[in-house]
Structure 1
Amino acid sequence: MKRLLWHAVMALIVGMLASCASRLPEADSPARPGEATPTAPAPEVAGTDPWQDTQPLPAPRVQGNSRWVPVRWAELPGFNEDNLFEAWTAWIKSCERPGPVFAPLCAEVRQLSIASAAEQRAWMVRRLQPHRVESLEGQAEGLLTSYYEPVIPASRLPTKGFGVPLYRAPASLGQRRPWYTRQEIESLPEAQAALRGREIAWIADPVEAMVLHIQGSGRLRITEPDGSQRMVRLAFAATNDQPYKSIGRWLLDQNLTRDATWPGIRQWLSQNPQRSTELLWSNPRYVFFKEEALSGTDPTQGPRGAQGVELTPGRSIAVERQNIPYGTPVWLVSSGPTAQLQRLVMAQDTGSAIIGPVRADYFAGWGADAGELAGRLKQPLRLWALWPR
Structure 2
Amino acid sequence: MIHVLARRLAPGASSAFLLLLAGCAQQPVPPAPVTCAPQRTCPPCPGCPPPGKPAVAPAAPAEPAAGAPEATSWSTVEGWNDDDPAAALPALRNSCSVLSRQAAWKPVCDAAAALGPRPASAAARQFFEQHFVPWRLTNADRSAEGLVTGYYEPVIKGNRSRGGPYTWPIHGRPDDMLTIELGDVYPELKHLRLRGRLVGGKVLPYWSREELARRQDRLPAKVLLWASDPIDLFFLQVQGSGRVELPDGKTVRIGYADQNGHPYQSIGRWLVAQGELPLDKASMDGIKRWAQDNPARLPELLNANPSYVFFRELPASDDGPPGALGVPLNAGRSIAVDPRYVPLGAPVFLATTRPSSSTPLQRLMLAQDTGSAIKGAVRADFFWGPGPQAGAEAGRMRQQGKMWVLLPRGLNPPGPR
**TM bucket normalised to smaller:** 0.7 to 0.9
Indicate the residue corresponding to 2:361 in structure 1.
341
The C-alpha deviation readout for 1:254-309, integer Å capped at 9, x for no partner, is 453222432333344344444433332222211111112314xxx3x111111011
Matching residue within 211, 214, 218 for 1:193: 218
Alignment-derived partner of residue 336 in structure 2: 318
Q: Aligned residue pairs: how many?
A: 315
Match in the other structure for 1:371: 391
Relative to structure 1, the CA distance from residue 374 to residue 284 in structure 2 (aligned partners, 3 Å threshold; closer, same or farther) is: same
Task: Name the SS for the 1:384 alignment partner.
Answer: strand
Structure 1 distance, partners of 2:292, 2:341, is 39
Q: Alignment partner of 1:280: what SS?
A: helix
Could you tell me how far apart the structure 2 residues matched to 1:309 and 1:202 are? Answer: 27
Which residue pairs with 2:240 in the alignment?
216
What are the residue-to-residue correspondences of 1:133-148 with 2, within 5 Å? 133-148=137-152
- Contact kept in structure 2, 1:263 and 1:375, CA below 8 Å: no
- Show the counterpart of 1:124: 128
What is the one-letter code of the residue matched to 1:287? Answer: V
Matches of 1:328 and 1:252, distance apart in 2: 38
- Counterpart of 1:61 in structure 2 is none
Deviation at 1:230, TM superposition (A): 2.5
Q: What are the Cα deviations for residues 116-151 of structure 1, in whole angstroms up to 9, with x where unaligned? A: 212221222222111111123323221111111111
Give the superposition deviation at 1:167: 0.5
Aligned to 1:269: 291
| The one of 210, 223, 245 aligned to 2:265 | 245
Shift of 1:250: 3.0
Cα-Cα RMSD: 2.1
Pairing of 1:6-21 with structure 2 (within 5 A): none
Q: Secondary structure at the match of 2:350?
A: strand
1:105 paired residue number: 108
Question: Whole-Å Cα distance in 1 between the matches of residues 399 and 115 of structure 2?
Answer: 33
Report the alpha carbon displacement of residue 347 of structure 1 after superposing the two structures with TM.
0.3
Contact 1:219 1:232 in 2 (8 A): yes
Of 252-261 and 84-93, the range deviating more from structure 2: 252-261
Contact 2:80–2:362 under 8 Å retained in 1: yes
Query: For residues 139 and 270 of structure 1, what CA distance do their matches in structure 2 show?
Result: 43
The amino acid of 1:179's aligned partner reads: Y
Q: Which runs of 5+ in 2 are unaligned?
A: 1-64, 179-195, 198-203, 410-417
Q: Which runs of 4+ in 1 moved over 6 A?
A: none
- Decide whether the 8 Å contact of 1:261 with 1:376 is kept in 2: no
- 1:1-389 pair list within 5 angstroms: 65=66, 67-98=68-99, 100=102, 101-113=104-116, 114-174=118-178, 175-176=196-197, 178-187=205-214, 189=215, 193-195=218-220, 198-223=222-247, 230-255=250-275, 256-259=277-280, 260-295=282-317, 299=318, 301-335=319-353, 337-338=356-357, 340-389=360-409
On the 8 A contact 1:128/1:386 being kept in 2, the answer is yes
1:66 & 1:315 partners in 2: Cα distance?
Answer: 25
CA 1:76 to 1:249, structure 2 compared with 1: closer, same or farther past 3 Å?
A: farther
1:321/1:350 contact within 8 Å kept = yes
Task: Kindly provide the CA deviation profile for residues 352-384 of structure 1, in whole angstroms up to 9, marking residues without a partner as x.
Answer: 222222211111110111111112211112111
Distance 2:278 2:90 in 1: 41
Distance, in Å, in 1 between the alignment partners of 2:142 and 2:130 is: 27
Kept after mapping to 2: 8 A contact 1:65/1:322: no
Aligned amino acid, residue 109 of structure 2: C
Segments of structure 1 that go 5 or more residues without pairing to the other structure are 1-63
Q: CA contact under 8 A between 1:318 and 1:348: conserved in structure 2?
A: yes
**Contact conserved, 2:171 with 2:310, CA < 8 A, in 1?**
yes
Distance 1:323 1:282 in 2: 32
- For 2:147 and 2:237, the matched residues in 1 are separated by 21
Kindly provide the CA deviation profile for residues 143-191 of structure 1, in whole angstroms up to 9, marking residues without a partner as x.
Answer: 111111111121111112110000000011115264211122112x3x7
SS at match of 1:302: coil
Letter in 2 for 1:326: L
1:238 match: secondary structure: strand
Contact 1:146 1:375 in 2 (8 A): yes
User: More relative contact order in 1 or in 2 (CA 8 Å, sep 6+)?
Assistant: 2
TM-score, structure 1 normalization: 0.75
C-alpha distance in 2 between matches for 1:158 and 1:289: 17
Q: Is the CA contact (8 Å cut-off) linking 2:66 and 2:138 kept in structure 1?
A: no
Aligned AA (2:148) = L
SS in 2 for 1:95: helix
Cα distance change on mapping 1:283 and 1:89 into 2, 3 Å: same
Write out per-residue CA displacement over residues 30-89 of structure 1, whole angstroms, 9 at most, x where no aligned residue.
xxxxxxxxxxxxxxxxxxxxxxxxxxxxxxxxxx95531222212222111112233111
Q: Letter of the aligned partner of 1:77 in structure 2? A: E
CA distance in 1, matches of 2:270, 2:209: 15
